[in-house]
Homo-oligomer: A and B are copies of this chain.
Amino acid sequence: MSSMKMMISRAAASRLLTGATRPADSAERGVTLHRNSFVSVRKMSKALTIDNINPNILKLEYAVRGPLVIRATEIMKELEKGAQKPFKKVIRANIGDAHAMGQKPITFIRQVLACVSLPELIDKGDFPEDVKQRARDLLDACGGGSVGSYSASHGIELIRRHVAEYIARRDGHPCDWNNVCLSSGASTSIKSVLQLFCNDLGGKTSGVMVPIPQYPLYSASLAEYGLQLVSYYLDEASNWGLSVDELERARGAALTAANVRALVVINPGNPTGQVLTRDNIESIIKFAHKHGLFLFADEVYQDNVYAQGSKFYSFKKVMTEMGAPYDELELASFMSVSKGYMGECGLRGGWVELVNVAPDVQANLYKCISAMLCPSVLGQAAVDCVAKPPAPGEPSHALWLREKTAVLDSLKQRAQMIADTFNQMEGFQCNIVQGAMYAFPKITLPPKAIEAANKEGKLPDVFYASRLLEETGISIVPGSGFGQYPGTYHFRTTILPQEPLLREMLDSFKTFHANFSKEFA
């Protein structure tokens, strides 16, 4: 990983040395650069250089896997090689990766995956009847009875039908399976739908309203596609709720620069952990309708609701029940097998339900994804298990329910423990983690710490998170990676380390913070 550091310093060097922003004579400058720079002298200038690559890619940032996380990986390697540190291991609280933090897979999902991967197990292996039947049904739905066949680009019809049934059960309203499109995790379909908005109508960039703080897939994808990010602030004081006044302000402020065409809402919230009330959802729908916005409902944490009195309402359900004219809103609702109680991030399974999308637009979206052939068929099989879990009375039901409940109960406890602990720490203020998998506390940093950060050329929250990592091995993501109200500092930590590890992490965090506060008092 030390090569990564070098790359970044070379990139910085390249910009420093050339001092140029215009790409016109880049080949020539490339040569000059290579001759003068501290890296090896090149005989040939490059076809693809930092000066002539896609400028949107340069701008793109994704803090959840950014420089601090790269540094965490380096530290892990240093520890493996026997380096002496004030800690024995890195705790990866930077990413919502449940299994990596010790959560066990749901048995039913894994038994089905084993059987569809190696179909001889269906008859030879010792599996419950519903596992075998599910594997047979899935294989029947695959070309040549193999998960090695391409599926349709929007996914296997059987699974799309099961997803539609799941949505209909969840909401109490019908769902047409033709509007369900399977994907490699939610990220892929979020990007595919976002990309549809690239159109500089009347010479103005299309704008997409995104909450601040936000999950940085949105800022990264908008940068990648050259779309305008239109920030609206979540209200930390009212547990990260959405205020319509703020939505109006944000839209109004963006209008001269952009055609504001879509609104992203993440519920339950990432990184903020709130669960929107039904009333709040209704106001958002009215706002979207009033301004003719397309709604992105990022609902991947729909199973992750912990706080008493909190309940998940899908945007689809609420707008359907609001009736005309709100039930005609264009909506894309995203779901994933990476989160919830299953935490199957590595399998890459997800879906989008498209509601009220113009049929010809939807046909074009399906056409576009067809060039990518299909999402992982094993990921789709996992989606099937999530959309249609073992039903009461079926042999796998009891175990499935026990495992699911245990995961969600434990997450609920951890959600509370982490917020309580932070709120006992001086200078910390942490909203209740009502849902999702993260706490996003606000920290008051002493002026001397901010000064020290400035000296190192770091943002204060990056400085804090960086010190935490180097001194305790705890990997978190600074609030600036998600966006935060100017002058405030936050960080995101997952609630995913299993309980003993989480206690250890919080103890270590407390000690660090006390020392840090003393040092910069």
Chain A positions near chain B (C-beta within 8 angstroms): 3-4, 6-8, 10-11, 14, 23-24, 26-27, 42-50, 52-58, 60-62, 65, 73, 92, 95, 97-103, 105, 110-111, 113-115, 117-118, 121, 125, 142-144, 146-153, 178, 184-185, 187-188, 191, 195-199, 201-202, 216-217, 220-221, 224, 261-262, 289, 292-294, 324-325, 328, 330, 342-348, 356-365, 367-368, 370-379
Closest to A220 in B: B371
Residue among B46, B54, B117, B328 making CB contact with A199, cutoff 8 Å? B54
Contact partner of A184 (CB less than 8 A), chosen from B58, B201, B348, is B348
A103–B184 Cα distance when bound, in Å, is 25
Contact flag A371-B110 (CB < 8 Å), given A198-B56, A346-B149, A347-B377: no
27 A-B pairs, CB-CB below 8 angstroms? A3-B359, A7-B359, A7-B360, A7-B362, A47-B293, A48-B196, A48-B261, A53-B361, A54-B196, A55-B199, A57-B368, A92-B143, A99-B143, A111-B118, A114-B114, A114-B117, A121-B121, A142-B346, A147-B346, A148-B347, A150-B346, A216-B371, A345-B373, A348-B375, A376-B376, A376-B379, A378-B378
Chain B residues lying within 8 Å of A98, measured Cβ to Cβ, are: 148
Residues of chain B contacted by A24 (CB below 8 angstroms) = 201-202
Which among A361, A367, A371 has the highest number of chain B CB atoms within 10 Å? A371
On whether the beta carbons of A292 and B50 are closer than 8 Å, the reply is no
CB distance from A158 to the nearest CB of B (A): 13
On whether the beta carbons of B54 and A195 are closer than 8 Å, the reply is yes
Q: How far is the CB of A10 from chain B (nearest CB, A)?
A: 5
B6 near A359 with CB under 8 A, answer yes
CA distance A60 to B110 in the complex (A): 38
A101 near B144 (CB under 8 angstroms)?
yes
User: Do A344 and B148 touch (CB < 8 A)?
Assistant: yes
**Is B378 within 8 A of A347, CB to CB?**
yes
Beyond A44-B289, A100-B149, A376-B379, list 8 extra A-B contacts (CB 8 Å): A11-B360, A43-B325, A60-B371, A99-B149, A113-B378, A148-B346, A346-B376, A348-B374
A55 to B261, CA, bound (A): 16
Q: Which of B43, B198, B378 contacts A328, CB < 8 Å? A: B43
CA distance A292 to B47 in the complex (A): 6
From A10, A45, A346, A371, residue with most partner B Cβ within 10 Å: A346
* B202 close to A367 (CB less than 8 A): no
B53 touches A363 (CB 8 A): no
Q: A110-B118, A148-B105, A360-B11 are in contact. Are A54 and B346 (CB under 8 A)?
A: no
Is there an interface contact between A201 and B361, defined as CB atoms closer than 8 Å? no
A378 nearest CB across to chain B (Å): 5
With A144-B102, A199-B52, A358-B48 already in contact, the answer to whether A371 and B217 are too (CB < 8 A) is: yes
